[in-house]
Amino acid sequence: MSRVKDRKLTGMILAALLCTGGSLLNMSSVNAADVTVNEGETVDYVSNGAKGTGGWPAAESGVQTHNAIIKGTVNNAVYGGNSSDNNASGNTVTIGNVGGAQVTVSGTVQGGATQVAKEASNNVLTIQGDVNFTGDYTSVYGGFSMGGIANNNIVNILSKVTIPNSLEGGQSEGGTSSGNTLNISASGVIVGNGSMGAGLRAFQNLNFYLPTTITTSDTMLTVNGTADVTNAKVGVLAQGTLANLTKNSKVTLLSANTLTGGNTISQTTDISVPTSITTVSTYEFSVATESNKIVATLTNDGGSENNGGSGGDSGNSGGNSDSGNNGNNSSNSGIIDSETAKNNAKSVVETQAATTTFINAGSDMLASQGFAQAANAVALDTAKQQQNGGGAPAVSSFTPFAAFGGSSMRAESGSHVDTKGFGLNIGFAREIANGQGKLLFGPLVEYGGGKYDSYLDNGTHGDGKSHYWGIGLMARQINNDGLYYEGSLRVGRVNSDYNGNFNNQNVTYDSSSTYVATHLGLGKIMDLGHHNTLDSYLKYFYSHQGGDNVTMHASITGDENWSFSSINSHRLRLGARITHEIDDKNSFYGGLAYQFEFGGKATAYYNGGSTPSPSVRGGSGMMELGWQVKPGGPVTVDLGVTGWVGKQRGVSAQIGAVWSF
């Protein structure tokens, strides 16, 4: 997401993209430039990834695909790609320096051009910021082919400019031209200053994005010449609340000296426009021709569709610079009713559910691999002392251990959150003999996190990253009769971020809070004979993720202050594990458990309202398999795989290790 004025607009436009089939370049994902004319620099031409002085650029042999950025002055010509004998497709040209000095360009401006009957398609040319086109015959083309194909080129005009001669989408001399799109998001754009041949041609999609300040006396595009709109589809979208328009207000989209093909265009468009993160206004326009004009009439201003929530999912721009998507799925664009808006506000809270999943995964790893490796560590230390001629010590020294795990999980939260994460425990374990048996304890540090993707039932998607770090203590008393009880306490910080599209705009935020996690366990280890032992247990897990006040960044409506409630997770797990000893060093284990989550509810608050609350409350089943290498050398390992079904489902893999010095 970008918050620069012209780029902010692109984030909104891509959320709607109307039904004309056109699309707008996402300015935040432009490919790295092959050539850049920097601010204050003057050149004669830009072409095929190069810039130069002293004349005009020559077309070059071969396929030409390049990316040019113009922030300075170009005297004669700008080409993204210019081929003498092959295709010139997929080029991007960006002219303008948003927030910077004026850019001056004269001569031919073409996204992609081929001088033979080849293809000039999928080129994107964007004009933004303060741009001064000079010279009576300066023209702008998305793509040009000498008798070949010129399809699906895009011209984006994001600021008020005057183009002295012609503006053309996909011009082919004797060939085919289709799917070419003009996107205009500023009023007062002028094409033609009276020069011969001035006009608008070769666009099949015309999208007009009305500024919030537009009035009935404004004209979006004036053509001082002939505008050929034959069979063109015309779409209209409001950039935000149209404060100066009421029902039946008319806005001139295009005014020309001569309008040809006007009787072949007709388009009615409607769109829900965000007025805040949680409110939308719905506008409906009808499009028609009047004399040599194309006008849009506001047939329904809709008012504010607000029910204390936020809106539906928008489309994204696509991962590269050639185009965005066309916004055809139901959650991308069009009308968003208030109930849908309210339900979709839940998307921003799914981050908290994902973060709780990561924190709880850390608890699970400590309660399994962490304690197992701590026990292995002290056993290794004891074995080493005995090998040196001593007996079993009453108090072992602190011995390092480590446990690492990775997981791919899905948490059902009324919708669902997919997480791919990892966790790491590093600690020092010590064992003290006592009258009942042995006390195992030690400090540890932990780090973990990962990526998440959240999905509401209607397809609204959010994603982000989360990571945590903390310190903790662990302890387990193992009695001589096999009864044991254990506990742990961890404290740390968790950081996360969110990026999502809903209400026809992009929303992001960053969050940071404190977490506290603990667990208590009670179990019994019994010898079943034939080198088999049974470990049956009951464990309780608790985690608390503190609330946070965050700044939400919305691509259209700006920043808002929100707050998140704290999240408390209460899990109870009942299970058993059987371990079979192969020999003195190797053993295998398998186990089953059932877990129920009693909490895990998250809520966000804003401006007196609150979002729907995702919750991971529910039951899950667990199965585990693993292989242990018991102490007997300087390094020992433990490998385990765990599968989950139910409210929480997925797979995790863990590896533990201890070492001696």
Measured CA to CA, the distance from residue 525 to residue 548 in angstroms comes to: 43
pLDDT digits (tens, 9 = 90+) for 242-280: 889 888 999 999 999 999 988 888 675 666 777 777 777
Instruction: Identify whether the C-beta of residue 114 lies closer than 8 Å to the C-beta of residue 140.
Output: no
Q: How many other C-beta atoms can be found within 10 angstroms of the C-beta atom of residue 616?
A: 25
Whose CA is closest to 509, among 462, 574, 473? 462
Which stretches of 271-425 are DSSP H helices?
338-344, 350-365, 371-387
pLDDT of res. 639:
86
Joined together, the tokens standing for residue 9 give 């607009």
Measured CA to CA, the distance from residue 633 to residue 655 in angstroms comes to: 17
Instruction: Identify whether the C-beta of residue 81 lies closer than 8 Å to the C-beta of residue 92.
Output: no
- For residue 359, the SS3 value is helix
Instruction: Identify whether the C-beta of residue 515 lies closer than 8 Å to the C-beta of residue 492.
Output: yes
Kindly state the average pLDDT of the residues 519-544: 95
Distances (CA, A) of 106 to 68, 75, 103, 139, 140: 16, 5, 10, 9, 10
pLDDT digits (tens, 9 = 90+) for 295-331: 999 987 755 444 333 333 333 333 333 333 333 323 3
Whether the predicted pLDDT of 481 surpasses 90 = yes
User: b/e map of 536-565 (b: 16 or more CB within 10 Å)?
Assistant: ebebebbbbbebbebebbbbbbeebebebb
Measured CA to CA, the distance from residue 322 to residue 89 in angstroms comes to: 10
Q: The whole model's pTM is what? A: 0.67
CATH code given to domain 347-659: 2.40.128.130
Beta pairing partners, 574: 538, 594
Measured CA to CA, the distance from residue 69 to residue 551 in angstroms comes to: 33
Confidence category of residue 136, pLDDT binned at 50, 70, 90: confident
pLDDT of res. 632:
56
- The letter for the amino acid at 66 is H
Please report, for the chain, the start and end positions of each structural domain, with discontinuous segments joined by +.
Answer: 5-336, 347-659
pLDDT of res. 395:
60
Distance of CA 444 to the CA centre of its chain: 34
Joined together, the tokens standing for residue 597 give 């989550």
Q: What is the dihedral of CA 355, 356, 357, 363, to 10 degrees?
A: 120
pLDDT digits (tens, 9 = 90+) for 594-623: 999 998 888 889 887 888 887 788 999 999
- For residue 631, the SS3 value is coil
Measured CA to CA, the distance from residue 506 to residue 16 in angstroms comes to: 12
pLDDT of res. 598:
93
Locate tokens 């071969």: which residue?
A: 62
Distance of CA 358 to the CA centre of its chain: 19
Q: What is the dihedral of CA 332, 128, 29, 415, to 10 degrees?
A: -20
Measured CA to CA, the distance from residue 308 to residue 279 in angstroms comes to: 7
Q: How many CA atoms lie within 13 A of 604 on its CB side?
A: 30
Beta pairing partners, 165: none
Residue 660: Cβ-neighbour burial (10 angstroms; 0-12, 13-18, 19+): middle
Strands 140-145 and 108-114: parallel
Measured CA to CA, the distance from residue 353 to residue 444 in angstroms comes to: 25
Joined together, the tokens standing for residue 44 give 């004669």
Kindly state the average pLDDT of the residues 60-75: 89
Strands 181-184 and 219-228: unpaired
- The letter for the amino acid at 461 is H
Whether the predicted pLDDT of 200 surpasses 90 = yes
Radius of gyration of the chain (CA): 32
Whether the predicted pLDDT of 5 surpasses 60 = no
- CB-based contacts of 367, cutoff 8 Å, min separation 6: 486, 488, 519, 521, 539, 541
Q: Please give the DSSP secondary-structure letter assigned to residue 243.
A: T
Distance of CA 151 to the CA centre of its chain: 30
- For residue 6, the SS3 value is helix
- For residue 302, the SS3 value is coil
Counts of helices then strands in the chain (DSSP H, E): 4, 43
Measured CA to CA, the distance from residue 123 to residue 142 in angstroms comes to: 6
Joined together, the tokens standing for residue 547 give 């609330």
Confidence category of residue 591, pLDDT binned at 50, 70, 90: very high
pLDDT digits (tens, 9 = 90+) for 436-477: 999 999 999 999 999 999 988 888 899 999 999 999 999 999
Please report, rounded to a whole number, the percentage of residues in the chain having pLDDT higher than 90.
54
Strands 279-290 and 267-276: antiparallel
The H-or-E segment that residue 270 falls in is: strand 267-276
Q: How many other C-beta atoms can be found within 10 angstroms of the C-beta atom of residue 528?
A: 11
Measured CA to CA, the distance from residue 654 to residue 638 in angstroms comes to: 8
